[in-house]
Amino acid sequence: TREHAFVWRAYSLVDSSQVSTFLISILLIVYGSFRSLNMDCENQEKDKDGNLNCYLCLKKLQIKMIISVFATFNFLYLFYDCFPGIQTIDSTQALFLPIGASVSLLVMFFFFDSVQVVFTICTAVLATIAFAFLLLPMCQYLTRPCSPQNKISFGCCGRFTLAELFSFSLSVLLVLIWVLTGHWLLMDALAMGLCVAMIAFVRLPSLKVSCLLLSGLLIYDVFWVFFSAYIFNSNVMVKVATQPAENPIDVLSRKLHLGPGMGRDVPRLSLPGKLVFPSSTGSHFSMLGIGDIVMPGLLLCFVLRYDNYKKQASGEVPGPGNVSGRMQRVSYFHCTLIGYFVGLLTATVASRIHRAAQPALLYLVPFTLLPLLTMAYLKGDLRRMWSEPFHTKTSSSRFLEV
């Protein structure tokens, strides 16, 4: 009957896989954004104390590895100089990122068999660093009662606290289990680490750069999902995102001519460039690329920093174009987060209606940018947010070079 069909469609939209995707993606963005804000506060305190050297030594390694994670899963390899601080994307990079990502996507599409082992090894290393960053606050909480926060020297490798070593050890263990089992839950855990690390370490400096980046990636996503099949006789984006890679242990076993029982029974690996959740019936998986979390997440991180900046600004008087009352009390972060939720819901409905993969950014970008632009205009902040919203330049901030 029609009623039963309607109930079944409604249930299919809110099954366990969809609910898990919604909750986890939103939690990752919120956590990554607040982690980013805390890092800014820590940097300011350490700048005041003049005690940045040891702190930046660890952050330098973490940032370089995590930026490479971003490049890996957006299929764009970025080359950059040594730098000690958080990275900011400028207008030129925002414009050329979709082009570079398209070139790298084609390389992965045509030459995946040739580079898959190296790609998997690099992924495992980078995911280890990112997941250690995700675990670090928990490890700091666990080790605080029993150990001082003194750093242990490892020679040329640097100096690390017990919490940092603990988080790195747990991360290595999880990656090894993932390589041996290929379980989707471990892959999701690594993907979560990548999302949080990217949102925490990469900055969008203004609303102008945000619009350039997200608009370019929207076109990139739409083209490779909807139109690539007409040119390459295959959906390039879907094939690259879902293609499993050979397990390095299996490859090593064959190269060394080991016996069938020595590393030959390990599974192929689905790389953590996405979040996947099974439905309650186990009949299908819900999938969301980490780019669909990280890219809107960078925008939400930007507006959270701007909300915090406005709160800290002293003696700020609303301009003649500003509105008062409830509109002033609504934060940009909450407005954009609601837009992200609505956009994700719309993308889910569209994928169920069309029964095909949808470019999530086609829905996420308008539902996050348009409410933000509208609210900024109504509050009178649009001009400030568009160019130089924070009015400060730190000496440690350098732009990423492509």
- CA distances to 63, 80, 159, 265, 307 from 25, in Å: 22, 29, 34, 33, 21
Rg (CA), the chain: 22
Which residues are bridge partners to 286 per DSSP? Answer: 277
Output the CA angle 31-33-34, nearest 5 degrees: 65
Residues 251, 252, 255, 257: is their CA dihedral positive or negative?
Answer: negative
- Token readout for 168 is 């790195």
∠ CA 185-276-172, nearest 5°, is: 35
Exposed / middle / buried, residue 336 (Cβ in 10 Å: 0-12, 13-18, 19+): buried
**Catalytic hit among 188, 221, 250, 381:** 221
Tokens standing for residue 344: 């994700």
Q: Maximum distance among all alpha carbons in the chain?
A: 78
Task: Verify whether residue 221 is a known catalytic residue.
Answer: yes
Active site residue 292: yes
Return the axis-axis angle of helices 291-312 and 361-379, rounded to nearest 10°.
Answer: 10
Closest by CA to 291, choosing from 30, 101, 19, is 101
Assigned token pair, 368: 């996050």
Q: Check: CB of residue 310 under 8 Å from CB of residue 316.
A: yes
Task: Exactly one of 188, 250, 292, 381 is catalytic; name it.
Answer: 292
Structure tokens at 43: 């940097």
CA pair distance 69, 14, nearest whole angstrom: 31
Contact 199, 66 (CB under 8 A): no
Phi-psi region of 30 (alpha: psi -120 to 50; beta: other; left: phi over 0): alpha
Please give the positions annotated as active site: 221, 292
